Amino acid sequence: MAGNGLSNLGRVKLTDLIASEGLPSDTYKLSVSTLSQSLAQYSAAIIQFPPNDGALLRCCLESARPYFIQKPSYPSADMIHINDSREWCKTSGYSADPQMWQESYDYRPGITPTEPNNDIEFPPAGLADIFVVLGKAARDILDAVGFYLNLRGCAFTEILDSVPLRNREISSSVLSVNCHARPSFQGAQHHNLTTQEDGQLVMYSDHDHQVDKSLISIIKSDKAGFHIRDFNGRWVLVDGDLGPQEVVVYPGLALYHATAGYVSPALHRTDISNLHGNMHGRCSLSFKLMPKSMTSLSCSEMRAAGHGVEAQFQIPVSVDDFMQRSHPLDQLFNRNSFPSFSFPTAQEGSMKPLMKRKKNNSRLKPLPPSKRLRLEAQRVLKERVQDIADKKGIKLRFCTLKECESHIHTLDSPCGNIRLEIGWPLGVPFVHPHDLPNKAKIGFLETYEPGWSANHDMELSLIETGQSSQHADN
């Protein structure tokens, strides 16, 4: 998949990812394809913001430096935060993690942070405006991913915060201003040096491999150093050549679970070896679009779109439990049966299959009843088979026509065991997007729903009679 795709991270304009009413434009489809291809290969993509929004991001990064430089060399005990998962949706204000050599200021609408002496905290500039900009961008990106997965519009709205927040609601999503490796902050003793293959020294924190539990994360830094592991297991510097209006976007664990594993979470780390002699350290802005705590992560939208859902994703999970639970990285990135989603390349001409449309549909003759019955049987058949597979915890394997023809008479085939488990009729191709033989489809439907064909014959005859009367009237 990665070998035939993008040579570098995909770059997409945010304005091209904003959906509009009616049919999707060619620009939107091409942008969605580039975004999805990049997420599949690199677990990240680069998004270009409009000039005004880019200026706002740079202004906040500039104000972050004096904000952190005036902080004490070592924070008080109540300011030290060591990743308490129980507080995932309550963090706000300044905190520090000496083990990570990192300081943060979390902006979360609905909470007014205060310092220990009850003084009001004065944060870096523009956080409220940036929260709006990045929150809207993250939702547009999430909808674009849903469009590519063939999910219904705004498929994730039910698990997101209300827009705007209701009275006394606290935002689940959070905007963080971070500072790594400030020399005056006493955290250097908790770090180690590792040697690269070329002999250069690179410094990472002791907990360098991290995965966000967000749906979508967006990050903008004032210095390069953010690495993400790609599809082939290589670490890629993703912010090395960012323009002033560009940010890095990457998926998190919540999106991985909500899409039944089809969208891989980004494994990332931060290189702080190039900060020697820098008095401010490395400052960054990060926005995490989070699901709200009182909802559940389920794969109902994926099943409705016809995607296979593995047994581990079948049962909905409470968001609050999901955020407090540990997720071993070896189970996420070393799976033998990972359900990879095949993203087409985003090169010139690659979107042509998606843009094909039947011309002059209004002038086509109505389908004959037998054809409509066959198409309806195909649709219902796939729904019935998906229901059976979901109840039995079976992940469907959708064959191509060529594969399916070669599997019919083969006992030891990729989908042979599943055919046996689900009770598929002998000699009939396994379920796939192309049409099955008419008699086989109707026979299978009759097994699970006796009288199906007779009922639909009657419905179609009534429809045909009504259409004939309408033509006669005209």
The rounded radius of gyration (Å) of the Cα atoms in the chain is 26
Peptide bond into 437 cis (omega under 30): no
pTM: 0.68
37-46, 118-127, 344-353, range with the lowest pLDDT: 344-353
Q: How far apart are CA 250 and CA 172, in angstroms?
A: 18
The average pLDDT across 84-95 equals: 78
Res. 104: pLDDT tops 80: yes
d(CA 455, CA 195): 71
Question: What are the start-end ranges of the H helices in 356-437?
Answer: 369-392, 401-407, 416-422
Residue-wise pLDDT for 408-426, tens only, equals 555 555 566 666 666 666 6
Q: What is the pLDDT of residue 209?
A: 77
Using the structure block, give the residue that is written with the tokens 């050549």: 241
C-beta separation of 248 from 287 below 8 A: no
Q: What is the pLDDT of residue 21?
A: 92
pLDDT at 150: 92
Amino acid at 463: I
Q: What is the pLDDT of residue 119?
A: 61
Mean pLDDT, residues 238-247 taken together: 93
> Which tens digit of pLDDT belongs to each residue from 254-299?
999 999 999 999 999 988 776 665 667 889 999 999 999 889 999 9
Q: What is the mean pLDDT of residues 188-195?
A: 43
Q: Which of 178, 317, 166 is nearest to 256 (CA)?
A: 317
pLDDT higher for 346 or 464? 464
Examine the pLDDT at 397 and tell me if it is beyond 90.
Answer: no
**Three-state secondary structure call for residue 60:** helix
